[in-house]
Amino acid sequence: MDFTGRDFLQILDFSSEELRYMLEVAKIFKNYKKTGQSHKYFPDKNIVLLFEKTSTRTRCSFEVAGYDLGMGVTYLDPAGSQMGHKESIADTAQVLAKLYDGIEYRGFAQKTVDELAKYADVPVWNGLTDYCHPTQALADFLTIEEHFGNLDGLTVAYLGDTRNNVANSLMAMSAKMGVNYIACGPEALKPDTKLLEQCQAVAAENDSSITVTSDLQALAETADVIYTDVWLSMGEDKAKWGERIEQLKPYQVTMEIMNLAKPTTVFMHPLPSFHNLETSVGRDIHEKYGLSELEVTNEVFTSERSLVFEEAENRMHTIKTVMYLTLKAKE
Ligand code: CP
Ligand code: NVA
């Protein structure tokens, strides 16, 4: 399978077979890392990481993966380049493509990463936009497959803001991998109709289903994975916290919900998470709204059923895979 020169902008751009292949390559890279096998395949390549939003996992994963592959890595933070304020996306893309072999972008509009890809003649990788978070979904599915041994007949249930970037990519990846997906949240935060219908059509081709519900009981009985994410994403108006808390409090992942599910059901979250008062945002919200845990309780987050740190580790192996495959010289 040849991915050379391709961009990684969203899950739906790839076939089920291509995504399956990526998971297999990620397992090989994970094994190399665990056994200390050097894989500095690209000593002559350099990549640039453009971040218009903050990050821990995505930035560090691209950096470590870049170094592991032997590459030079430049990180540009929101204030560190001319892009957007003094230079257009199109010009930035063409300049960076002259200097670098690949460009990662994290930011706001999906159209920015699409435009970078249009004007840069090197691979562009989406490290999160308001619309989707495709490298997260790859890591999530590697984690799910490692945990259960295979993906056959599994159901992933997403609770909360079911129309956010992480949910969009998880839904698309579920459809592509033939895994059932349930979006469970309030009517006001349900998935975008166009994306939902696209994913439902893909899921049908792969003998799985995508459903939208507000019924927690039904979901808990069938879910193998209970997944959630923050209730307010980066870039959203902080004034919306009160409304979101009201809308999403019933969908907080509690041990009561986990116990409605099968004993084998696991918990997942892309992180960062507000599960205690150890963050300044968590403390501010506690002061204002009285909640000491938001989208997931600390009990669930720290339980044996929580796969969150395995999931975080797998960001690096899957991001390395995306870079390796798209930068790879044709054989
Ligand atoms: N999950 C994730 O993308 O984390 P960061 O925001 O830390 O990159
Ligand atoms: N939905 C979250 C994901 C962070 C990794 C956000 O966009 O802030």
CATH at 40: 3.40.50.1370
pLDDT of residue 221: 85
For CA atoms 321, 104, 9, 212, the dihedral sign is positive
Q: Is residue 122 part of a domain?
A: yes
Residue 59 Cα to ligand 1 midpoint, Å, equals 8
Q: Is the CB of 108 under 6 A from ligand 2?
A: no
Based on the structure, what is the number of domains in the chain?
Answer: 2
Quote the CA–CA distance of 242 and 12 in Å, as a whole number. 33
Residues 61 and 156 in one domain: no
pLDDT at 329 over 80: no
Q: Is residue 115 part of a domain?
A: yes
Residues 82 and 106 in one domain: yes
Residues 175 and 277 in one domain: yes
Give the number of the atom of ligand 2 that is nearest the alpha carbon of residue 229.
Answer: 1
Quote the CA–CA distance of 151 and 326 in Å, as a whole number. 25
Residue 78: pLDDT band with limits 50, 70, 90 = confident
- Ranges 101-115, 217-231, 273-287, 310-324: which has the least confidence: 217-231
Residues 126 and 184 in one domain: no
Q: Is the CB of 160 under 6 A from ligand 2?
A: no
Average pLDDT over residues 213-236: 94
Average pLDDT over residues 243-272: 97
Q: Is the CB of 58 under 6 A from ligand 1?
A: yes
CA-to-CA dists, residue 263 to 140, 157, 161, 200, angstroms: 20, 15, 25, 28
Residues 123 and 182 in one domain: no
Q: Is the CB of 127 under 6 A from ligand 2?
A: no
- Transcribe 135-197 into DSSP letters: HHHHHHHHHHHHHHSS-TT-EEEEES-TTSHHHHHHHHHHHHHT-EEEEES-GGGPPPHHHHH
pLDDT at 331 over 50: no
Q: Give the pLDDT confidence of 265-279 residue by residue, as tens digits.
A: 999 999 999 999 999
Q: Is residue 1 part of a domain?
A: no
**Sole residue written with tokens 């997942």:** 268
Residues 39 and 117 in one domain: yes
Amino acid letter, 331: E
Mutation to probe ligand 1, out of 233, 315, 319 (largest number of atoms < 8 A from CB): 315
User: What burial class does residue 291 get, using C-beta atoms within 10 Å of its C-beta: 0-12 exposed, 13-18 middle, 19+ buried?
Assistant: middle
Residues 296 and 318 in one domain: no
Q: Is residue 178 part of a domain?
A: yes
Q: Is residue 285 part of a domain?
A: yes
Q: Is the CB of 234 under 6 A from ligand 2?
A: yes
Residue 235 Cα to ligand 2 midpoint, Å, equals 9
Residue 182 Cα to ligand 2 midpoint, Å, equals 19
Amino acid letter, 132: C
- Transcribe 202-227 into DSSP letters: HHHHTT--EEEE--HHHHHHH-SEEE
Residues 19 and 121 in one domain: yes
Closest to 156 in 3D by CA, of 236, 238, 265: 265
Is omega for the bond preceding 272 within 30 degrees of 0, making it cis?
A: yes
Q: Is residue 3 part of a domain?
A: no
Residue 330 Cα to ligand 1 midpoint, Å, equals 31
Q: Enter the pTM of the model.
A: 0.98
Q: Is residue 2 part of a domain?
A: no
CA-to-CA dists, residue 204 to 198, 234, 330, angstroms: 10, 32, 34
Residue 43 Cα to ligand 2 midpoint, Å, equals 32
Q: Is the CB of 61 under 6 A from ligand 2?
A: no
- Number of Cβ within a 10 Å radius of residue 299: 15
Reported residue count of the chain is: 331
> Which ligand sits closest to the CA of 164?
2
Residues 275 and 154 in one domain: yes
Residues 117 and 253 in one domain: no
> Which ligand sits closest to the CA of 135?
1
Residues 262 and 320 in one domain: no
Q: Give the pLDDT confidence of 291-312 residue by residue, as tens digits.
A: 999 999 999 999 999 999 999 9
Say if residues 122 and 101 touch (Cβ distance below 8 Å): yes
Q: Is residue 142 part of a domain?
A: no
Residue 103 Cα to ligand 2 midpoint, Å, equals 20
Residues 152 and 118 in one domain: no
Amino acid letter, 154: L
Q: Is the CB of 166 under 6 A from ligand 2?
A: yes
- H or E element that contains 267: strand 266-268
Host domain of residue 157? 148-308
What phi and psi, each to the nearest 5 degrees, are found at residue 138?
A: -65, -45
Give the number of the atom of ligand 2 that is nearest the alpha carbon of residue 58.
Answer: 5
Residue 58 Cα to ligand 2 midpoint, Å, equals 11
